[in-house]
Structure 1
């Protein structure tokens, strides 16, 4: 087996909650195959243990790692399960380590801001100034007939896309869609969350709906983590648009079908 194979297998174990299998694979790298685990392999183990809520084991695992492998990837992998489980203490610890490595890392501050929001700490979240940086980096892409189309924040959409978004929003309201305020990703002002058309992935999805054959899956790539608002919206949309929706963000792969997502709402 090659290192990349172990990385894929460890990541799969992390996403499916197979912590024992992840640990067995990790230990076999050196013991059986003579492959020294890299920082990427270690980060997969941190994510696997963290997603299972085993934060004491995470701390023990990190303490046993060589300092040279304790890079940004390790701490970002720890922030993700901290957000899922609402572990503020560990999230702050991971962020401090990230800041030591790179004080300008916007994505780290954004993840901590999401933890604040999930716990209802709106004042703490509002003090974290990451909005402008996220606005500049937030974009989504979709490929239609071998041509890639990019949608960015604050971009004016065509009338056709706006009409499709309005149609989707109306249908969602008809079936009782109400977003949860704690799910909002604070990349733009809250009053702009009146519908699905403000976010880049939703613009890309709408464009895919009007530009590709009926029934063809919609596949979108996004530059930043998908927010809870759009995640829930896509789950709901997948129940009535007669399409599968696939969105790949830096944290996970989301396959929406029949009102469910392949990430099991953990990303």
Structure 2
């Protein structure tokens, strides 16, 4: 059995949908900040999806973010090590400064600019020190929970135009594809313990939004470009957060599909409703 703490989010739902061997549990069922080896006794592996992901709120709530993003993963990794079972911890592009101009390799220097990024980086350190795996990903969307694709679909049905930042670049990643990659990792378990897994290719949030409109059969010119400065937020966003999949491929793992074809597949699979029936804002 593969235990998935934080399993009620979009990634946890997809892991459970892809494998009958997955047991996805909520934070109420398993609090990673208090986990012990006894909580993992029946698990053959652990994929940790539990995280404090409120990026802006973390700026004033860093202690709680640290507990969930750093202390919890460390305790999980130590418990897994004591039982001799593999652990995979999901991390983020926010551990980088966002000032790069080429895809980040796993060996590149880190430099988080936000409280969220700092807490996630500390979680990485603790997991790796205990012998676990860390998989960084970015721009994840899926059928469950709030995400960019669902928000754009809602705005398409409720506003004549939408302004979206065009100066942040990354790789939109369908949670279904990421989940499949993580499950493959549990069976391969390569020597390399720090990996990146995102959809192939890169784009901006503006271009991504246009693609969502196109998939919905809507006029993509209704999406208007703007800058990050036009929408200031408490936590800084990485301007460039494309992650290289070189280490993932070198480990013998299948690369995730290109982001554009993945979006088409996701919409066809029902991640958002067709035009005229978009989900409401959450």
Q: TM-score range, shorter-chain basis?
A: 0.3 to 0.5
If asked which structure has higher relative contact order (CA below 8 Å, sep 6+), I would say 2
Scaled by the length of structure 2, the TM-score of the pair is 0.32
- Greater share of strand residues, 1 or 2? 2
Scaled by the length of structure 1, the TM-score of the pair is 0.33
